Amino acid sequence: LTAFRGRGGSGAPAESEPIKIPPRPKLLLKLFPVSVEMLHRLKEKAMEDGKIKKCTSFEVVTAHLWRARSLALEMPSDEI
């Protein structure tokens, strides 16, 4: 894919110079089925120590995925 941009700033018509636009990366779609029971278990686990009083389904699923990613990357436990 090529786009054009003008050169010069004198007010005269600009010559066109092509610029190369890099191709878009291919995206990967992954689906992770999450049951209602799993959501309840994740919420109970998140709130079991009493520090968190309320959390959304989005928050617990995101936290669960972040923890799994962190463990897979072998991040230090204080960063998980």
Q: Give CA–CA dist 27/4, Å, rounded.
A: 27
What's the pTM value of the predicted model, to 2 decimals?
0.57
Q: What tokens were used for 39?
A: 């959501």
| pLDDT of res. 14 | 62
Number of folded domains that form the chain: 1
How many CB atoms are closer than 10 A to CB 4? 10
| pLDDT of res. 16 | 79
pLDDT per residue as tens digits for the range 26-78: 999 989 899 999 999 999 999 999 999 999 999 999 999 999 999 999 988 88
For 59, the domain range is 2-79
CA R_g for the chain: 25
